[in-house]
Amino acid sequence: MRILVINGPNLNLLGIREPEIYGDGNYYDLCEKINLKCRELNIDVDIFQSNHEGEIVDKIGESYKETDGIIINPAAYTHTSIAIADALKAVSLPYVEVHISDLSKREEFRQISYIRDEALATVMGKGFDGYLEAIDILNTIVTLELSKGYPCGEVEAPPSKSYTHRALILGAFSKQSIIKNVVLSEDIFETIDCLRNLGANVGIEDDTVTIGGLNLLDIKNNTEIYCGDSGSTLRFLIPICLLAGSRVTFKGTERLLSRPLDEYEKFCKEVGFSFEKNRDSVTVFGNLSCGDYKITSSVSSQYVTGLLLALSVIEGKSTVEVVGKIESKPYIYITVDILKKFGIDVSVNENTITVIGKQLIDNKEYAVEFDASNSAYLEALNFVGNIRVNSTDNPTVQGDIIYKEMFSRLKNGEKKFDLEDCPDLAPIMFSASCLFGGAEFTGTRRLQYKESNRNVTMKQELEKFGVLVKIEENSVIINAENIQKPTKMLVGHNDHRVVMALALLCVKYGGKIRGAQAVKKSFPNFFDRLEELGVKLKEI
């Protein structure tokens, strides 16, 4: 692996320039630290520094065929240089943005970054060690080449991530529950680690998790938990921690903490709880009790689920009225279903959900059902092959099972689809539609709040296949009449569903996907399943 490290203006003055902000180490010390780290990892590195914008742009351009990834600290150009941002986009190499100081705590003008939206990650406020973290990030990138092929055979459907999150949280409040058929993805590990840090006893053996013993009174004041990039973990556990009467701080990736939490902030203000959000953390403090509550879910149903989970683990009757339009309503049905499976008395009357909670959840042995969302990304291979995904005919309340109907309509020539209640199907529907000349999709507004802005990232990648994509406020129009083998390296944008959606088109046309490791977030053995079906792939 070969990486390029670019440092912008005045970083050659490290050790002299404002040591109270940038530290006492000089530029030579920084370079030595970077070189040592790269030698340990057997990485070739080119370190470059310039005080001139044009020289940095030229260096990025020269890296196109010689470099696997870039670490860049543009310094003051971070806030001003569209040219550097355009150069990074042009070479389409993975890059990590680094800053020695924490820009979020500095002047207002430093809050602007023209390169952040396309970066794999941004590392700030960690001094010279931030460069070492960036090297580790680039070193984890996996690039896969998929050959054209005809997949055939049968595979098992993956376990549901949605059900697993909920089952783990409820099981934590029992004496001891056993959750079977668990997919140990990155998101599920984040939930397990957070519950363990809050006081739950957790054991893992193969695909079985034994969990229990979490007592709200044991949650200590000023507890910190790390949610990684898992929106479910963060949004489900915020109300749980509001039960504790202790200050709890949530940390996670920058992308996670940039996703909306407005409804919780509004909810906390209305009931008199503390909710403090900044760039790198969210801190809550409250003493949530049984009662009648109102909350909106115009951005995410996860707000409703989080509140329901919390109210189910305290003694007494509560109601949750969902105000206004309900987004992703089927996910609320999943929550109601799992509450019933764990012995919680819950009922739904139009937009009001009544839950009678209990302080100690019944011990439960529960096997997680199949994941409709991720199964869609496998079953789409039937568009280019002949496969069977077992278990997907089992009864389920998962809304994303609608993929079966959507796939059938697509095959029958339909061109208009609404994704409002099934946003996780958007990437695979976008890709699948390309095999039939394209389609028009509505209900796409919320895709901007996912692991990536999926409207934008799918547009960028589909265009590499010669596909035309038009993004409107709440719709996406795809014209794939001239689709062809991709002309450039495909990029996963650290988004598991984008990677899996691109894989479908690569099986049809061939292609290379950089950042394929993103599937670990929800479906870590996705590419193993593809190989089982005869898809030829290799790491490059």
Q: Could you give the residue numbers annotated as active site?
A: 424
Spatial distance between the Cα atoms of 371 and 381, rounded to a whole number of angstroms: 16
DSSP per-residue codes, 79-128: GT-HHHHHHHHHHT--EEEEESS-GGGS-GGGG--SSGGG-SEEEESSTT
Q: List C-alpha distances in Å: 39 to 1, 65, 500.
A: 11, 22, 33
Helix (H) / strand (E) element for 322: namely: strand 316-326
| Structure-block tokens of residue 315 | 């003694």
| Structure-block tokens of residue 178 | 């056993």
> Residue 318: what are its φ and ψ, rounded to 5°?
-140, 160
Alpha-carbon 458 to chain mean position: 15
| Structure-block tokens of residue 226 | 């790390």
Where b means 16+ CB within 10 Å and e means fewer, 195-224 reads beebbbebeeeeeebbbbebebeebeeebe
Q: CB-based contacts of 528: which residues, under 8 Å, 6+ apart?
A: none
344: left (phi over 0), alpha (psi -120 to 50) or beta: beta
